[in-house]
Structure formats: structure tokens, C-alpha cells
Structure 1
């Protein structure tokens, strides 16, 4: 029975799910932007702009999730689905003077852009510097 044992005896292999420390905050409204500016006066606020249709964006998102560790898990990280909330994405670019990219990470401090990166540059960021 060796060859068919795993197929017919009901045993299933368990999938290993990667643990993420990110507590994504959805960014879905223009009304949230003044709040983000205000929050950034006391702590860094990160905006991750993601295109759900882009393979590169999907890969970078997964790699970014691995960057958030126990040490950086309390960072405020907003998730912006730029296809569903294009008007919010446009206003983020305008308000914070950052040319649109996808994927893109924008870090706010004191109501303004402190740092930003796009594409694979995002995966090279040391998030602990924003604590």
C-alpha cells in the first residue's frame, strides 16, 4: 500500500503559515488623512500602497510582512489598496508630495513625508529606525 497510502488514508500535510506581526490598518477614506498627519506628530506612521493586480507588488508585500518583527510590531502601518481607493492614493501623493509608485511605502513624521521607497527598495528598509 506504500505508494497510495498518503492519497487514500486521509492524511493531510499541514501547511506552514508564516507568522506576521503586522496589524494592518485599512486606509480607505480621504477623511483619514488629517488623522494620519496628526498621529505622525507623536510617532512614525507608515502607508503601504499596494496594487492587487501587480505580481511585483504582491511579492514585495509578502517580503515586507517578514520585515515587521516583535521589535517593530507596534508601528502604525496603514494598508492602501490603490485600485479600490484610487482617490485616496492620488491625495496621498499630492498631500505628501510623493510621486505615485506601486508598491510604495511612505513614512510620515511631523505631518510630512520623512522617507519613502518603492518596489524592491521597500524590502531593504530597516523598520527599527522608525520606532
Structure 2
């Protein structure tokens, strides 16, 4: 599995629509923030060691794709934070966390519901 970087609102809409069929984990990442760099490392490690094959993984770079990042927050009614991970099912945010709370353990807990 790997993260799919999206940079357009059309790509976001496509992924959001797919969340009706399979869960979607969104990572909003700032390429200029050390806290976000740590969160991204946790996400990358998670996906290479523990990821679930029935989940889509999407990366949104908040500086480079600000309009997409804002649209994610608007569509999901989740206050924008960076870094931030959001689990989406059926076009709705069912879980989110940010900053130092983004860990391999928190991602696994969100995706398995335990």
C-alpha cells in the first residue's frame, strides 16, 4: 500500500465518493513543519508495516494544495489542523486527530475500531 497524493479538488471529490465503498484515511501534511514531519514519519511507517488493504490512503500537502486542504475541512466539517489525520466513511469524518497524537498506534486503533 502507499499514500496517494492529491492536489486537485476533482481528485478529492473522487476519493470522497469512494469512501462510500471503502474507508479513506486522509493525512493533511505541512512540508514546512517539524511536528508534521514527525506525524508523516509515523504515517509512512504505519502504512509500510501495518496498513489495511481495504483502506485508501490519501496525502494532502496543506501549503502546496491549500484549496484542497480547505475543501477537505469544509466537506467533512472538521476544523483544519496541520498535521491532521481523518478517517472517512460514507462521505463523513468518523475520526480525526492531529499533531503529536498522530502515531502508528492511534492509526491502528482508528482503523480497527479497538
Decide: shared fold, TM above 0.5: yes
In the alignment, the residues of structure 2 paired with residue 67 and residue 82 of structure 1 have an alpha-carbon distance, to the nearest angstrom, of 21
Taking only aligned residues, the RMSD between alpha carbons, in angstroms, comes to 1.7
Stretches of structure 1 that go unaligned for 5 or more consecutive residues are: 1-21
Q: Which residue of 2 is the match for residue 118 of structure 1?
A: 98
**Greater Rg over alpha carbons, structure:** 1
User: Any conservation in 1 of the 2:2–2:48 contact (CA below 8 Å)?
Assistant: no
In the alignment, the residues of structure 2 paired with residue 63 and residue 71 of structure 1 have an alpha-carbon distance, to the nearest angstrom, of 11
TM-score after normalising by structure 1: 0.75
Paired residues for 1:13-92 under 5 Å: 22-74=1-53, 75-92=55-72
Stretches of structure 2 that go unaligned for 5 or more consecutive residues are: none
In the alignment, the residues of structure 1 paired with residue 34 and residue 48 of structure 2 have an alpha-carbon distance, to the nearest angstrom, of 24
Pair 1:62–1:71, CA change in 2 (3 A) = closer
TM-score after normalising by structure 2: 0.85
In the alignment, the residues of structure 2 paired with residue 28 and residue 73 of structure 1 have an alpha-carbon distance, to the nearest angstrom, of 23
Q: Give the length in aligned residue pairs.
A: 109
* Larger helix share, 1 or 2: 2
User: Any conservation in 2 of the 1:49–1:79 contact (CA below 8 Å)?
Assistant: yes
In the alignment, the residues of structure 2 paired with residue 50 and residue 71 of structure 1 have an alpha-carbon distance, to the nearest angstrom, of 20
